[in-house]
Amino acid sequence: MPKKLLRVALIGQGFMGRAHSNAYRQAPRFFDLPFEIECRVICGRDAGRLRWTAETWGWKEISTDWEEVASRPDIDLVDIATPNSLHCPIALAAAKAGKMVLCEKPLATSLDDAMRMASAAARTPNMVWFNYRRVPAVAFARQLVESGRLGQIYHYRATYLQEWGPTRPPGNWKLQRAEAGSGVLGDLASHLVDTALWLNGPITSVSALLHTFAPGRDVDDAALFQARFANGSIGTFEATRYATGRRNCNAFEIHGERGMLRFDLEYMNHLEFLDATDPREVRGPRRLLVTDFEHPYAGHFWKPGHLLGYEHTFIAALADFLEAAARGESPQPDFHDGARTQAVLDAAERSAASGTWQEVKAI
């Protein structure tokens, strides 16, 4: 039976525009998708580069007018990979036009906008590109936690460490509050929070410190916070662009009554697991290579032991989205999940400004 055609408009041609373009090309080669994907139009601000991007990644048309693209009748799915400040207006326009909507993280630059986006897109399939949920080792960590292998959780420790803060030219949109909304809080801590909510459940309150090292910069370069989880565990979160020597260390460590898990994206094919019920003399962290057919997602790609990379997380996320969308549903993390993450970031901002613990607003 011929598959239904899915005509995609991608808005954005930067780093994420390339990661998403690659996913549209590769997903049908690794997953049996319910749609035939057509890369119909790519939209961006730099018209000169847009032509090259379209040719390189196989987009049929180019446009510099997202408002026209978001409501075009020959588009089924609008994918937002723009600077953060455009996420909300584009998502609202696309949802109003009845399109499926995909949006890069963080979902919005404020909790209010995130809530508006979640309610606007409630009747159409949607997803936030928190791609690290589709790292096989992270998805496997979730299975281990869900099955009770760690027992009651005591500690959740998360870090996202990058080093490019001191060196980037001031023109970068991620360093401008007007376009980014915040600094590492939205850019890096949002990943940590999304993963934490998925692995360890809701966060109820936070105490945060935001710090800017670069003179004159109006976004945070580093964000630190402590958190209380609804399950009784406590957590620490650290995100920074000033971690000299760390390129992209997105890591977590979870300690429970029955075991421990440890992950670091720079070694993304591995997950460390300690089973605290092992006899003490042989107890120690096992470094699992999470590339087997039994592991989440891995079997869709290569044979066991053949390593996966960053791009596979986007391919698998897109495949999950399309499978749910064919049923008229949204996979996790949908815009409501994105708003839940935004609520934690919002509490962190309030806490840093007031110097007090702040409750996370219920979504």
Q: Which residues bind ligand SOE (CB under 6 A)?
A: 15, 162, 187, 248
- Rg (C-alpha) for the chain, rounded Å, is 20
Give 16 or 93: the residue with its C-beta nearer to ligand SOE: 16
Give yes or no for a contact between 154 and 257, defined as CB atoms under 8 angstroms apart: yes
Q: Which residue has the tokens 């080669």?
A: 29
Give 246 or 295: the residue with its C-beta nearer to ligand SOE: 246
Between 190-200 and 136-146, two packed helices, what is the crossing angle to 10 degrees? 30
- Minimum Å gap between C-beta 305 and ligand SOE is 25
- Minimum Å gap between C-beta 265 and ligand SOE is 8
CA gap 360, 363 in Å, rounded: 9
- Minimum Å gap between C-beta 180 and ligand SOE is 10
- Minimum Å gap between C-beta 239 and ligand SOE is 10
Q: Which residue has the tokens 């049908």?
A: 28
- Minimum Å gap between C-beta 48 and ligand SOE is 23
**Amino acid identity, position 327:** R
What is each CA distance from 231 to 151, 193, 204, 227, in whole angstroms? 11, 15, 10, 12
Q: How many residues does the chain have?
A: 363
Give 119 or 248: the residue with its C-beta nearer to ligand SOE: 248
CA gap 135, 27 in Å, rounded: 15
Cis before 296 (ω within 30)? no
Give 16 or 144: the residue with its C-beta nearer to ligand SOE: 16
Give 179 or 359: the residue with its C-beta nearer to ligand SOE: 179
**Cβ count within 10 A of residue 154:** 15
Give yes or no for a contact between 64 and 47, defined as CB atoms under 8 angstroms apart: yes
- Minimum Å gap between C-beta 280 and ligand SOE is 38
Give 226 or 248: the residue with its C-beta nearer to ligand SOE: 248
CA gap 280, 268 in Å, rounded: 28
Give 187 or 238: the residue with its C-beta nearer to ligand SOE: 187
Structure tokens at 93: 């326009």
- Minimum Å gap between C-beta 335 and ligand SOE is 17
Give 187 or 349: the residue with its C-beta nearer to ligand SOE: 187
Give 174 or 270: the residue with its C-beta nearer to ligand SOE: 174
Give yes or no for a contact between 35 and 66, defined as CB atoms under 8 angstroms apart: no
- Minimum Å gap between C-beta 69 and ligand SOE is 23
- Minimum Å gap between C-beta 98 and ligand SOE is 28
DSSP string, 144-175: HHHTTTT-SEEEEEEEEE---TTTS-TT-GGG
Give yes or no for a contact between 156 and 165, defined as CB atoms under 8 angstroms apart: no
Which single residue brings its beta carbon nearest to ligand SOE? 187
